[in-house]
Chains A and B, each alone.
Chain A
Amino acid sequence: DSGVTQTPKHLITATGQRVTLRCSPRSGDLSVYWYQQSLDQGLQFLIQYYNGEERAKGNILERFSAQQFPDLHSELNLSSLELGDSALYFCASSVEGGTTEAFFGQGTRLTVV
Chain B
Amino acid sequence: GENVEQHPSTLSVQEGDSAVIKCTYSDSASNYFPWYKQELGKRPQLIIDIRSNVGEKKDQRIAVTLNKTAKHFSLHITETQPEDSAVYFCAVRAAGNKLTFGGGTRVLVKP
Chain A residues with CB under 8 Å of chain B are 2, 31, 33, 35, 42-43, 45, 48, 50, 55-56, 58, 90, 92, 96-107
Contacts and interface: CB of A to CB of B under 8 A. Distances in A.
Contact of A107 (B36, B43, B49): B43
A45 B99 contact: yes
Contact of A31 (B51, B97, B101, B104): B97
Given A104-B43, A105-B43, A99 B93 contact: yes
Interface string B85-111: 000010001001111111110000000
A48 B96 CA distance: 10
24 contacts: A2-B43, A2-B45, A31-B97, A43-B89, A43-B104, A45-B98, A48-B97, A48-B98, A50-B97, A55-B96, A55-B98, A90-B44, A97-B93, A98-B31, A98-B97, A99-B52, A99-B93, A101-B34, A101-B46, A103-B46, A104-B44, A106-B42, A106-B43, A107-B43
Contacts of B46: 101-103
Q: On chain B, which size bracket covers the interface?
A: 20 to 34
Given A42-B89, A42-B102, A106-B43, A101 B49 contact: yes
A46 to B, nearest CB: 10
Contacts of B42: 106
A42 B38 CA distance: 11
Interface string B44-84: 11100101100000000000000000000000000000000
A94 B49 CA distance: 14
Given A45-B99, A90-B44, 11 more contacts: A2-B43, A2-B45, A42-B103, A45-B101, A56-B96, A96-B97, A97-B97, A99-B93, A100-B32, A104-B36, A104-B44
B32 A98 contact: yes
Nearest to B33: A99
A56 B1 CA distance: 11
Interface in B8-51: 31-32, 34, 36, 42-46, 49, 51
Contact of A99 (B31, B102, B103): B31
Query: 7 nearest interchain CB pairs?
Result: A97-B97, A56-B98, A99-B32, A104-B43, A43-B101, A42-B103, A56-B96
